[in-house]
Amino acid sequence: MTGPGQQDVVRFLRDGQVLGGPVEHIRTHISHLFLSGDRAWKLKQAIRLNFLDFSTPGLRRAACEREVRLNRRTAPGLYLGTVPVTWDGRTLALGGAGEAVDWLVEMRRFDQSTLFSRLAARGALTRPLAAGLAEQVIRFHEAAERRPDMGGAATIRRNARDVADNLRALPASVLPWADVEDWARRIDDALAGNAALLDARRDGGMVRLCHGDMHLANICLVDGVPTLFDCIEFNDEIACIDVLFDLAFLLMDLLAHGLPGPANLILSRYLSAARDFPGLACMPAFLSLRAAIRGMAVGMAADEDRADEDKAVSARRYLALALAALEPPAPRLVAIGGLSGTGKSTLAAALACGLAPGAGAVVVSSDVIRKRLMGAVPEQPLPEAAYAEAVSARVYERLFEDVASALAAGQAVIADATFTRPGGRDGLRGLARAAGAPFHGLWLEAPPDVLHGRVAARRGDPSDADVHVLGRQLQLDVGPVDWRRFDSGHPDLAARAAAFLG
């Protein structure tokens, strides 16, 4: 034997004595995973594809080191380092004194039941978890390295055309050719229509070294915190992308799992921090391309195993989602006002997904804006000074700016605030008129004792309004309210409001 090959390394790692206990071996299309005890070890397959090159030990070492470095941005507690597999002329060893013949990524093993894909499957992906995930993505994208040398309209249009070619190569029994051609034409039109914006976003720093593979199976809980892992380390063209294209994979996957509510929450939370409302004009195309890419991968797997009709059905479902995402949103403005405790935010969340395709209408909340202005996350309580008149004026100024920006991007928007001043209510109507968008105002009401009970029971809510704040609000003269009034205690409030909005 002149030296061990990678199959010898695989057999070596499958030996329970090497890794300290029974080993579970999982093979993916580009890696081998070895799970043992509280550790996971990843071995890059010795392959060269059109989008990666792991063909030599040196290239695999560089890929392992880059994987650890990049994933420590979001999951420092999971990625422990790299370890060589060495050969001394007689035996293989982990980190021995001989020649390094291969390299491993060493990871802390986590509870697989906390994968967000599994949480979604069993109905356990709650709004608090989605909110926590949104904050992690916000922080990650804020710190991500800018890459103005990558991305832009030409790159993403080429990407979409490559996807279309791969979809065309699949048999009609997997994907209907007419639907593939329809998608190929419409996605190219959508990207061409936003070409100037895509290039401007690249030049303005919105193309960054992102995750690149941000779907639910690459998110888990680590010590109770939503954690992104397994980012793309092997191809900068896949990873150095528009931040909203990165986010679109997560939103698309939530929609594919039948979870538009968490998708809307994450999008609205993200925008409240990034204020990237102009980029929403690109989101239908981003969502569509993400769904088509997923459909391509599943379709290829179905083609390889022609007996797997389930995969073919899944591929067709992704293509249908890709087509649906390209339906143009109708810009409109819905305002929900009323005193604290009337349930404005609850109603906004209930209505958002029905007002627009994809992830729904963007919710612009005064409570969330106030927290962002103060450098806090939405659930973090603020001191009383944060509610001074001058701060409130800034809150409403920013709310109006964000609503106008989202409408200009062609989006449906829900504005959520007390709107106790007639000038504010009139101003919203003026914003809709200026954007050529329909406007609907909803005013929620409830008896004072009901409001007191709701406010007193709040925990971990973006609103810090307590019974004292409510007491002051009850003394206000809000003036004539010409918005549609609703009893917020009605059991069918959401259905009645949705029927009013049409």
What DSSP assignment string belongs to 435-457?
Answer: HT--EEEEEEE--HHHHHHHHHT
Per-residue pLDDT of the chain (502 residues; tens, 9 = 90+): 467 999 999 999 998 889 989 999 999 889 999 999 999 999 999 999 888 999 999 999 999 999 999 999 999 999 999 999 999 999 999 999 889 999 999 999 999 999 999 999 999 999 999 999 999 999 999 999 999 999 999 999 999 999 999 999 999 989 999 999 999 999 999 999 999 999 999 999 999 999 999 999 999 999 999 999 999 999 999 999 999 999 999 999 999 999 999 999 999 999 999 999 999 999 999 999 999 999 998 888 876 666 578 888 999 999 999 999 998 778 999 999 999 999 999 999 999 999 999 999 999 999 999 999 999 999 999 998 999 999 999 999 999 999 999 999 999 999 999 999 999 999 999 999 999 999 999 999 999 999 999 999 888 889 988 888 888 999 999 999 999 999 999 999 999 999 999 9
Q: Which two tokens stand for residue 323?
A: 């087509």
Please, what is the Cα angle at 441 between 440 and 445, to 5 degrees? Answer: 145
User: How far is 414 from 274, CA to CA, in rounded Å?
Assistant: 18
User: Distance between CA 332 and CA 429 in Å, rounded?
Assistant: 11
**What CATH code would you report for 116-325?**
3.90.1200.10
pLDDT per position as a tens digit, 297-338: 888 887 666 657 888 899 999 999 999 999 877 899 999 999
Helix (H, G, I), strand (E, B) or coil at 88: coil
63: nearest Cα among 77, 73, 72, 52:
52
Contacts of 390 (CB under 8 A, 6+ apart): none
Same CATH topology for 6-109 and 332-501: the answer is no
- Classified as helix, coil or strand, 213 is coil
- Phi, psi angle pair for 118, to nearest 5°: -80, -35
**CATH architecture of residue range(s) 6-109:** 2-Layer Sandwich (3.30)
**Alpha-helical regions (H) of 276-435:** 283-304, 309-325, 344-352, 366-373, 389-408, 422-435
Question: Burial letters for 245-260: b for 16+ Cβ neighbours within 10 Å, e otherwise?
Answer: bbbbbbbbbbbbbebb
Q: Is 189 helix (H, G, I), strand (E, B) or coil?
A: helix
**Enclosing H/E stretch for 307:** none
Q: What is the pTM of this model?
A: 0.94
The residue ranges of every structural domain in the chain are 6-109, 116-325, 332-501
Q: By CB neighbour count within 10 A (0-12 exposed, 13-18 middle, 19+ buried), where does 286 fall?
A: buried
> Which is nearest to 350 in space by CA: 261, 416, 455, 443?
261
Q: Pairing relation of β-strands 52-53 and 99-108? A: unpaired
Please state the CATH superfamily assignment of the domain spanning residues 332-501 in this structure: P-loop containing nucleotide triphosphate hydrolases (3.40.50.300)
The answer to whether the beta carbons of residues 164 and 184 sit under 8 Å apart is yes
Confirm if 323 and 288 have CB atoms less than 8 A apart: yes
